[in-house]
Chain A
Amino acid sequence: MFLKPSLHIVLGKGGVGKTTVSGALAVMAAESGRDTLICETEGKSGLGSIFGRGGLNFEEDQLAKGIWARTIWPDDALVEYMADHGMTRFSRLLVKTNVLEYVATAIPGIKDVLVLGKIKQVVKGSRAEERSYKTVVVDAPAAGHAITFLTSAAGIVNAVRVGPIRDQALDVIGLLESESTVVHLVTIPEETPVNEAVETAEALRERVGCRLGVIFVNGCYPHAAEAIEAEEIESLSKGLGVEINPDLALAMEAANEFMLDRYALQQSQRERLSRMLDLPQIELPFIFNADFGRTELETLAGAMADAISGAP
């Protein structure tokens, strides 16, 4: 079943709603009784504000019943890793002297491996001071960087022959290839985002031995009414004894036409997506409400749960 894996990595390009999808996935998991942690990797997530909180930190922060969140940064992950290995003073120097920047340049991908290494530890619940979770959701860096984020460990194993960094990278590969890890994609039903999702999926299949779960198609308009002209709206209203002015009828015609155009475009992109990518599509509705907060996130989580239980 969908929630069986303990690690869900959510990938998508900027602007497709990756963070809200990660949040909804966490709400869905928490509602099924799983303690869930959301790991944010870019340091600018609006997740806190959806739950009426401020920004997230490296330390775990409870957002709601069953839901915790934290930001995982390479620098923090490194300092903690060193401290856990009895090298606190050294790790501070490493960050302070900016040597990490040179090391990161010498070995591209080392920062991603530090982040994923920390995520592995969180998933395993192996750090005594920290909570352990049934489900961990990673709101991964935006596409472009998403592929390098997941391929970096393999690159390090090729570049570094010995030592703890190599071991860490091997651990990360083990995590990504594990049965209990799954990678989901997020897109919106538009041409460029669909293309990018397909490219990301292909690159991951070629270069990372991870399991792909589903593709979330976010921001889908509901099934539209049929086309109707303003005059017909007026006579329809009059027939029902409802007052309507011609301007309003025109506005209703235009809004309906807009919906029909968007819906047609959306369906053609979804068909294209299903031709190009053999992953279950999980349709998530466009949220029309004035604000986006807890209630809306729960709506999304509900739609997600329904779509997943109905998916093949």
Chain B
Amino acid sequence: MKPSDPPAKAASAQDGPSLEEVIGNKRVVIVCGSGGVGKTTIAAALALHGAYLGRRTAVVTIDPARRLANALGLDSLQDEAAEIPRSVWDPDKKAPASGSYSAMMLDAKATFDRLVARYAADEAQIRRILSNTFYQNIAGALSGTQEYMAMEKLYELDQDGPYDLIVVDTPPSRNALDFLDAPGRLSRFLDARVFRYFLSPTRAYLKAVSSATRGVLKIVAKVIGSEVIDDAVEFFAAFEGMYDGFKDRASHVSDLLDADDTAYLLVASPRREAAAEAEFFAEKLVESGHPIAGLIVNRVHPRFSDLEPGVALGRAAALERTDKRANRLAILYKNLANFDRVADREAGNLAGLAGKCASAPIVLVPYMAHDVADFEGLDEISWYMFPEGEANPA
């Protein structure tokens, strides 16, 4: 078997829709997985297949590698999805006329600014909030903001964009479900009861905050300097009146994440730690009521032969050191054994993961001999994911 052939599909008790059906029918596809597994590339390739199926497709990427970003026409962060000319993504004119491909790179800060502008009462309130240091930290550095803004952007595109299919890459996060939980967490953060003590230290508000908490805040102010606390207080003062709008919005975003038309695809790599992380991810997704609609294993080493690697290594050992030609053959046996051992190890790493994705289709994308940084490469990947699809390269 040549490595350029699609690897055999992993055995799975598939009874749900195929990956082709997911990309062909769902409205929102959320691509999740841990860092370093090629999530962004897979998301871009899934979206390309959507466009080839004639769907108006948008892909939201988080932090694409530079050359892939260039290929997608993303030279910098931008808050709007831009349509890529058909001649670029479909040079051979194989896609139906209805298909289109738009891409964007998430600018979390700009998305947050827009959200503030949407719920602020007037220009003055917008200015007060946007110029506040504490706000800038929330928009730029608060853990979970990027996750939430990716989901907020998804909601915007769903509401206002002319798309049939939106594919969203998710930020690499420490916790599997940061992006699902993000809308709720940000609402809770903004509902900062502790700061009401500072905002309006009247009897009524005092009740909302325990005396212990007040003590904590006083000491915090001493330890880190009161200007830092003042900044936070000023932010929460400026934010007054907007909280309900934000909370409402966050609950709509959550609804979209739970919608029947939203599918979750898990991307993993067959390395041991990555497979273990993906297993954990899969468990958490299922537990939270978001079944996995497909598992894509990226960068899989092919198994070249049926020979037991131990047997091949034995033959290599027997041939070694006899003469030059024997040595040459020994090296070939050893190399074959080496790669077949890697393939076996990877299959072992994936065994548990496949069990966690019970009825979902599983596709394997091989380890490519080159980096994927253009539409030709994306097309090649999508050919591995959709071997019967219409996007087969010549």
Name A residues whose Cβ lies closer than 8 Å to a Cβ of B. 13-16, 19, 42-44, 46, 87, 90, 93-94, 97-99, 101-103, 105-110, 142, 144, 159-165, 190-192, 195-196, 224-225, 228, 233, 236-237, 239-240, 242, 247-248, 251-252, 254-259, 261-262, 265, 288-292
Contacts and interface: CB of A to CB of B under 8 A. Distances in A.
Contacts of A251: 1, 304-305, 307, 336
Contacts of A87: 219
B36 A16 contact: yes
B67 interface: yes
Contact of A15 (B37, B213, B227): B37
Interface residues of B, number: 74
Interface stretch (B71-79, B94-102, B252-260, B337-345): B337-345
A160 B228 contact: yes
Q: Name the residue among A13, A99, A258 with the largest chain B CB count within 10 angstroms.
A: A258
Nearest to A225: B331
Contacts of B272: 46, 292
26 contacts: A15-B274, A43-B174, A46-B272, A46-B273, A90-B219, A97-B213, A101-B189, A107-B137, A108-B142, A144-B63, A163-B223, A164-B223, A165-B223, A165-B224, A191-B371, A196-B65, A236-B325, A240-B326, A242-B319, A254-B3, A254-B304, A255-B332, A256-B335, A258-B302, A288-B341, A290-B345
B217 interface: yes
Interface of B: 1-3, 34-37, 63, 65-67, 134, 137-138, 140-142, 172, 174, 189, 192, 194-195, 212-213, 215-217, 219-220, 222-225, 227-229, 231-232, 269, 271-274, 276-277, 302, 304-307, 315, 319, 325-326, 328-329, 331-333, 335-336, 338-342, 344-345, 348, 369-371, 373
B335 A255 contact: yes
A108 B137 contact: yes
Contacts of A196: 65
Nearest to B140: A108
A14 B35 CA distance: 5
B146 to A, nearest CB: 11
A254 B2 contact: yes
Given A105-B142, A258-B339, A290-B345, A97 B216 contact: yes
B229 A106 contact: yes
B332 A106 contact: no
Contacts of A163: 222-225
Contacts of B2: 254, 257
B224 A107 contact: yes
A90 B217 CA distance: 10
Given A102-B194, A108-B140, A195-B66, A261 B369 contact: yes
A228 B189 CA distance: 63
Contact of B212 (A97, A108, A192): A97
Nearest to A264: B369
B138 to A, nearest CB: 6
Contacts of A14: 34-37, 172
A192 B213 CA distance: 47
Contacts of A288: 338-339, 341-342
A106 B341 contact: no
Q: Name the residue among A108, A190, A254 with the largest chain B CB count within 10 angstroms.
A: A254
Nearest to A165: B224
A99 B222 CA distance: 14
B30 to A, nearest CB: 19
A99 B221 CA distance: 11
Contacts of B140: 108
A15 B192 contact: no
Contact of A99 (B36, B216, B339): B216
A15 B271 contact: yes
B158 to A, nearest CB: 27
Contacts of A159: 228
A94 B218 CA distance: 11
Contacts of B325: 236, 239-240
A247 B336 CA distance: 13
A248 to B, nearest CB: 6
Contacts of B66: 195
Q: Name the residue among B134, B304, B319, B341 with the largest chain A CB count within 10 angstroms.
A: B304
Contacts of A43: 174
B217 A99 contact: yes
B224 A106 contact: yes
B67 to A, nearest CB: 7
A43 B147 CA distance: 20
A16 B271 CA distance: 10
Q: Name the residue among B34, B219, B223, B276 with the largest chain A CB count within 10 angstroms.
A: B223
Contact of B134 (A13, A106, A289): A106
A74 to B, nearest CB: 11
A233 B3 CA distance: 19
Given A255-B304, A258-B3, A290-B341, 5 more contacts: A15-B269, A106-B137, A106-B224, A251-B336, A254-B3
Given A103-B220, A240-B326, A259-B339, A265 B67 contact: no
Given A99-B217, A160-B224, A259 B212 contact: no
B335 A42 contact: no
Contact of B329 (A97, A162, A236, A258): A236
Contacts of B302: 258
Given A163-B223, A254-B304, A236 B35 contact: no
Contacts of B189: 101, 105
A201 to B, nearest CB: 16
A247 to B, nearest CB: 7
The 6 closest A-B pairs by CB, nearest first: A15-B36, A14-B35, A14-B36, A251-B305, A108-B141, A288-B338
B229 A240 contact: no
B342 A102 contact: no
